[in-house]
Structure 1
Amino acid sequence: MTSESGWRGSPDLWLDAAGEILLESGVEAVKIAALAKKLKLSRTSFYWFFQDREELLDALVKKWKDKNTGNLIRQSQAYADSLAEATLNVFDCWLDQSLFDSRFEFAMRSWALQSKAILEEVQLADRQRLEALCTMFQRYGFDETAADVHARTIYLVQIGYISMQTDESLEVRMQRIPEYVKTFTGEYPKRNELERFYFKHRYTETGAE
């Protein structure tokens, strides 16, 4: 970036601002003038980084895919000693916004109601995520049909959480985790697996740290 471009912002700055507006007000509010006002930059600064609004929206879609779909797939492939622990690896996504942004997910699904192209992107993401979860179950001996049903059970429950904008405290969610794992996999997580999971998310059984 040249020294002259500092006052124009950066691609990430404009993209982050677009993401904030998308979450707050929906895609119709993601407009160049609104972004410029939010960032206190000139409208012409935008065009140093993006050809037009459509290129910015395409970048938002890519950011969502890289983060939410990419991380969910990676978590489903992470090392685990048991299916229960593999499932807890996936649950990391539901508790760590740096891995999976539920508000971003909700905004994209709302956008999909208005755009056939975005609906197709969301449907593709659903297929890719379900395939990854199905593969996870198959690694632990489930046949194709059983793996598919168990994968859908995990995934559709979480999408339900997001669609309903369910608000649970960390303590309530953590208390439910062992039963969710049992429901989804047929086995409870081992004590040491749970303790590692709790520690990762800064939780103790007497409350959050």
Structure 2
Amino acid sequence: MTSPQTTRRAKPAPDPAARGSEDLWLNAAYEVLVTAGVEAVKVMPLAQMLGLSRTSFYWHFKDREALLAALLDRWEAQNTGNLVARTEAYAETINEALYNLFDCWLTRDLFDSRLDFAIRNWALGDPTIKAKLQRTDETRITAIRAMFERFGYASDHADTRAHTVYYTQIGYISMMVAEPRDIRIARMPAYVENFSGHPPTPAETDRFMARHTGT
């Protein structure tokens, strides 16, 4: 007579609440990146910050490098993706197109300046990230140049204006300019005129102001 086989009980999977979610880990890593820099983005401190175990991290990311890659993907999707989309948004004039782009500078959901600043700091000590940043900057400038060309600017003029528009914003970010929002918005019609060479009409400016001031 054979003895019955012993039934093995499967080891229960950890409670999902005990391992968090991918977004939870990524959001925590984002906060550390923008406040303390990439060197501070480490698994154990993040686990302590979230009140989760270190092993729970590996349910969502292979390793720290995978987490950093996800942060870069978020940066490109949000900042570069939205910037390019705003340059391609419908506009009847170049000034309307510039105002569409300026939405990025005033709406964090479109363009996260803190994240852009953190990536630029990261690039200072990492040649791979620096090369990626340079490619990303060129992608953005190319999109702005195409926006000017769409409205009849010669290629060389469009290129110069695109660089001027972009470097102005990157200057704001890199210099950590703390300009009150209402003052910056008030200056934007003059920026539009400087960048396009044509003063915006009251209607163009009113539509932009309505998006950001409610007036």
* Other-structure match for 1:207: none
1:71 paired with 2:71, answer no
* Other-structure match for 1:109: 120
Return the match for 1:54 from 54, 59, 65: 65
Return the match for 2:150 from 126, 131, 139: 139
Secondary structure at 1:168 match in 2: coil
* Other-structure match for 1:167: 178
Return the match for 1:97 from 98, 108, 111: 108
Aligned residues: 203
Q: Distance in 2 between matches of 1:75 and 1:167?
A: 24
The amino acid across from 1:161 in the alignment is: Y
The amino acid across from 1:170 in the alignment is: R
**TM-score if structure 1 supplies the norm length?**
0.95
The amino acid across from 1:75 in the alignment is: R
Q: Which moved more, 1:107-116 or 1:195-204?
A: 195-204
Structure 1 residue 40: Cα displacement: 0.6
In structure 2, stretches of 5+ residues that fail to align are 1-12
1:190 paired with 2:198, answer no
Q: What are the residue-to-residue correspondences of 1:146-157 with 2, within 5 Å?
A: 146-157=157-168
In structure 1, stretches of 5+ residues that fail to align are 205-209
Structure 1 residue 196: Cα displacement: 1.3
* Other-structure match for 1:28: 39
**TM-score if structure 2 supplies the norm length?**
0.92
| 1:2-21 deviations in Å (ceiling 9; x for gaps) | 88212211011100000000
| 1:147-183 deviations in Å (ceiling 9; x for gaps) | 0000001000000000000011121111111110000
* Other-structure match for 1:130: 141
